[in-house]
Amino acid sequence: MHTLRIARVLIVASISLLALGLGTPWAQAPTPDQTIRLYQRQVLRKPHDAGAYYRLGDAYIQKARESGDVTYFNLAEQALRKALDISPRFSDALRHLAYVLYSRHDFAGAATEARKATELNPADPHAYGILGDAYLEVGKYTEAEATYRRMIDLDSDLYSLSRLSGLKSLRGDPEGAIADLQRAIKAGKTEGRPRESIAWGQWQLGSEYFSLGNLQEAGARYLEALSTYPNYYRALAGLAQVRTAQKRFPEAIELYQRAIAIIPQPDYAAALGDIYARIGRPEEARRQYDLVEYIGYLNSLNKILYNRELGAFYADHDIKLTEALDLARKELEYRRDIYAYDLLAWTLHKNGKSQEAHPAMTEALKLGTKDARLFFHAGMIYRGIGETEKAKEHLRRALATNPSFHIFHAEVAERTLQELEGQLTLREIQEKGRGQ
Amino acid sequence: MANRGFVSRGRIAGLTLALILLAPRLSFAHPLGNFSISHYTGIRVEQDAVELRYFVDMAEIPTFQEIQETGIVPEAEHPGLTGYLARKAETLREGLVLEVNTSQLRFQSESREVIFSPGAGGLPTMKLGIVYRARLDGAASTGLSHLRYRDANFPDRAGWKEIVAVEGPGISFVSSSVPERDRSTQLTDYPTDLLNSPPQTLEAVVTFTREGSAPVVAMIGPPGSPSPESFSPLPSEAKEPASGTERAVRPREVEARVQTDAKPVRLQTNQQATPRNAFTELMTTKELGVGIVLFALAAAAGLGAFHALEPGHGKTVVAAYLVGSRGTAWHALLLGLIVTASHTAGVYLLGAVTLYASRYVVPERLYPWLGVISGLTVAGLGFYLFLRRYASKNHPHAHAHPHEHGHGHHQHGFVGHSHGPEGAHASDHHRHGKPGDAVSLAQLFALGVTGGIIPCPAALVVLLSAVALRRIGFGLLLILAFSVGLAAVLIAIGLLMIYARRFMSRFQGEGLLISHWLPLTSSAVITVLGVAIAVQALVSAGILQIRL
């Protein structure tokens, strides 16, 4: 009776779907849990089939992305290595393995495996994609660009286009990045990619708009991502950021809380704490800040790296500045991308070493990225070393790029700019500061 | 010669070294990642009730958040927990839906427990266990009944999510969407492998029948319970065949009476450690930096040196031998090196044997036999030397003459060539052993090997710990450093003996004491030592028992 009921439901469902036409084929994709079970059974039936292990590994990777649980990356690695044991020249498995390593921040390892994959199968765009990603994360931008070019030459699907857009964004071409992302999302829908992947693309688009200061569009994109993949934690946090900028604080609080309920990331907790601090709820702010530190401490024990987020948190809140500098230096040791340089510059500056910060900041700005935070940091550092003109220029750029780029720093930028422009005397600044 | 006290000290030293150098993070974090919240529900369908055993296992971060929000103290017997548990049981209950034949059942918590176990870095994790009970009274029909359960607590949060359903007496399942046995032993064990990833089950559907007729609604309450007026089910209402629309609009609520004889909740701490980010583990090791590695090696060498000063490792044997023979600094060096090499090899060998044969041979059992073999070899060597030197006593000539072939030939069974400045005519192998032998390489080798072969427990512990923590290379390096320290001290002692001898001989010339009694005594001492080593090994194996 029970089975009959299910059968009936299925028949009705499939008829309805057919009747609706193929409007949204990607809505039918099975959940990662179902896929995992499916391929586990397949592996049981065919224990010597490399393909079965590969597909299982793929399912685990997808689950890992959605849940944020590192267990699944380890399981994925196991599955992929089994596949490679059976079939050592299985380039797809190599590429997926590269992705797992990349997710663990083992960029050198990821690059090695990805390179092997490209050698075995020079026609695989995604292998180049991951190789390019690995280059990007460690700051080898020229190599990344070259690799991405090869990727795009081979195929322009959701993943390739998203990657390319990321590069364009870094290089200070947000319009290009936006165009690419729009194409990417369209491609993803047509190709029936997993909902989470499409939502990621939509989230990325929202971030682009936000960094340009276009809060309206950003919010719309994030909402789209949420309708694609309900409760997508990235989109929740992104939307929360937009609401913060729009000063719609209660909504922002709720959104951050929802995001944290799914995956408690330190930067979400920091942002939530900042909102509480801003609206005068210091107790709750304190709790969120404690949570940030707690996560950071735990992750140092469990070797999940949040060095950047923690370092930025300390520097932004003027606490544990020596430790922040330490974290920044550590981060730079194995990742020499512009954001690592930015963190180093900022923490040096906060530790009163603005002179040393200057070359690091220059490094961070070298790609011409249109990022208000970078400009803000640069402005403050230039002020620290007494280069008033450069300071003003950068602070202006920060505010022009996105006038509400941060709940506190935007105002700091404004005040500092005004001070530099001589419109405020020292006393007026002090009074303003006290009134906050 | 290791005595009991030394062994345990050595072991402790070795273990401490291993712990300090190799395992900076032996504390176990939550197995499913430190922001996970795992759920388990055990559904038990009985004739007139459904029992839900509901467990929630919170990792470090959610535990921290819970503590922040509720202000509880993470200690199991803390008084504030009773109130907290009661409230928490209610909150969690709101996220659970239990329906039988589309009637939503109300259930209440009967027993509750919470434990706090240390996770990563000793930070608390918590595990809640609640037993809920719902009366079935009439909700289940006489024919087939359908149970539906849903857990909507902590949606989207990563974790192990498991449901099992078992039949109580008088119930039999026709079909069940969940198994009978759980994999996690109620959230204490999280076996995860390639084909058994964490379950993500948050819903269960069970079809069951009841044996025998429909039970009479029995109103068995807890002793001293309030009067039956509070009870208000209406069997006729519940049995009403619900039409499609009614089902959707108004779920029937059947008041449940709570029985108090539910089995209490038993919570246990987790068995596994967290799956770590394997790369950063390695990477952070590298981050230990050259400074720390050097320090570790220096510490290992220091430990080895210190260890050499303890009784054992043929230190006395080395000293005795060198005193008795006409050894040079070079011999001392060589002896030291041989001891080191054999010690290192011994540890490696034993370590390898232990690992590969650990199913068949308990390592502790190897020690005594190694000791016996060593002891006997040393004793044998000492005895041989003693004999030779004693025999040469009967020859008045202190210097060998090439024409004394007769004796010379007998002596070659064992020894090789002698070297060193005293043995200036080394190539002349007809020379038989002078009293105060020139040092022969073979003897040196034999002594060195047997002196060092007994791997001391401390070093073995370091190596095995290294293997267990997958830092084999570093472990091997540490053992080497250990042996270098050992060698350094032995060489120093050897040199000391040599210069003492020379010192004495300078004073007294090649008098009888130096040239005769010293060597004899030394070889006697070596023999005795060898026997003592063997005996001690046998004693420690329990084969010999000595009453002192």
Assess whether pLDDT exceeds 60 at residue A10.
Answer: yes
pLDDT for position B21:
43
Nearest in space to B213 (alpha carbons), one of B148, B146, B147, B140: B140
Among B65, B120, B155, whose Cβ lies nearest the Cβ of A302? B120
Contacts of A199 in chain B (CB under 8 A): none
- Is A70 within 8 Å of chain B by CB? yes
CB B208 within 8 A of CB B173: yes
For A355-376, b where at least 16 C-beta lie within 10 A, e where not — what string? ebbbebbebbbebebbbbbbbb
Rounded to the nearest angstrom, the gap between the alpha carbon of residue A173 and the centroid of all alpha carbons in its chain is 18
The CA–CA distances, whole Å, from B503 to A171, B24, B45 equal: 80, 50, 93
For range A379-389, the mean pLDDT: 93
pLDDT in tens, A140-154: 999 999 999 999 999
- Direct distance between the N- and C-terminal alpha carbons of chain A, in angstroms, rounded to an integer: 68
- Which residues 17-76 on chain B approach chain A with CB closer than 8 angstroms? 25, 27, 29, 32-36, 60-62, 64-65, 68
The side-by-side arrangement of strands in the sheet containing B103-105 is B171-176, B203-210, B144-151, B96-100, B103-105, B253-254
Q: CA of A334: which chain B residue's CA is closest?
A: B283
In tens, the pLDDT along A255-291 reads: 999 999 999 999 999 999 999 999 999 999 999 999 9
Mark out the alpha helices in A366-408 (DSSP H runs). 372-384, 388-401
Q: With contacts defined as CB-CB under 8 Å, which chain A residues touch B274? A: 302
What is residue A414's predicted lDDT score, i.e. its pLDDT? Answer: 94
Confidence check: pLDDT of B14 > 80: no
User: Residue B208's closest chain A neighbor by CA?
Assistant: A2
The mean predicted confidence, pLDDT, of chain B is 69
Asked if B272 has any chain A CB less than 8 Å from its own CB, the reply is no
Which residue in the set B29, B32, B61 is minimally distant from A301, CB to CB?
B29
**Quick one: pLDDT band at residue A92, thresholds 50, 70, 90?**
very high
Q: B197 and A305: CB-CB below 8 Å?
A: no
Across the interface, which of B34, B196, B207 has its CB nearest the CB of A2?
B207
Q: Do A105 and B279 touch (CB under 8 A)?
A: yes
- Lowest-confidence range among A13-27, A119-133, A208-222, A322-336? A13-27
Please tell me if residue A50 touches chain B, with a CB cutoff of 8 Å. no
Q: Which residue of B has its CA nearest to A305?
A: B280
pLDDT tens-digit map of A70-86: 889 999 999 999 999 99
Which stretch of DSSP H or E encloses residue B154?
A: none
Assess whether pLDDT exceeds 70 at residue B445. yes
**Residue B444: alpha-carbon gap to chain centroid:** 39
Residue B301 confidence class, pLDDT cut points 50, 70, 90? confident
CB pair distance less than 8 Å for B144 and A60: no
Q: Would you say A380 and A406 are in contact if contact means Cβ atoms under 8 Å apart?
A: no
Of residues A2, A43, A304, nearest to B277 (C-beta): A304
* Complete DSSP assignment for A273-301: HHHHHHTT-HHHHHHHHHHHHHHHHHHHH
Low-confidence winner among A132-146, B224-238, B259-273 (lowest mean pLDDT):
B224-238
Confidence at residue B298, expressed as pLDDT on a 0 to 100 scale: 77
Q: What is the pLDDT of residues A316-346, one digit of tens each?
A: 999 999 999 998 998 888 789 999 999 999 9
- Please say if the pLDDT value at position B520 is more than 50: yes
At residue A3, the pLDDT reads 67
Residue B8 clears pLDDT 60, i.e. is over it: no
pLDDT of residue B189: 85
Q: Is the ipTM of this complex over 0.90?
A: no
Dihedral angle over CA of A260, A266, A268, A273, nearest 10: 100
pLDDT grade for B408, boundaries at 50, 70 and 90: very low
HEC assignment per residue over B272-284? CCCCCCHHHHHHH
Distance CA B495, CA B333 (A): 8
Residue-level pLDDT at A376: 96
Half-sphere exposure of residue A251, counting CA atoms within 13 Å on the CB side? 13
- Per-residue tokens: A46: 């065919």
| Residue A103 to residue A96: CA distance in whole angstroms | 11
* d(C-alpha A232, C-alpha A240), whole Å: 12
Nearest to B60 by CA among B83, B38, B89: B38
Least trusted range by pLDDT, from A73-87, A350-364, B106-120: B106-120
- Tell me how many helices (H) and strands (E) chain A has: 24, 0
d(CA A349, CA A190): 48
End-to-end CA separation in angstroms for chain B? 17
Using an 8 Å CB-CB cutoff, list chain A residues near B275: 70-71, 74
Say if B451 is an interface residue toward chain A (CB within 8 Å): no
Q: Is the pLDDT of residue B277 over 70?
A: no
CA distance B24 to chain A (A): 9
Rounded to 10 deg, the angle between the A174-191 and A158-170 helix axes is 170
The structure tokens 């002349």 sit at B428
pTM value > 0.90: no
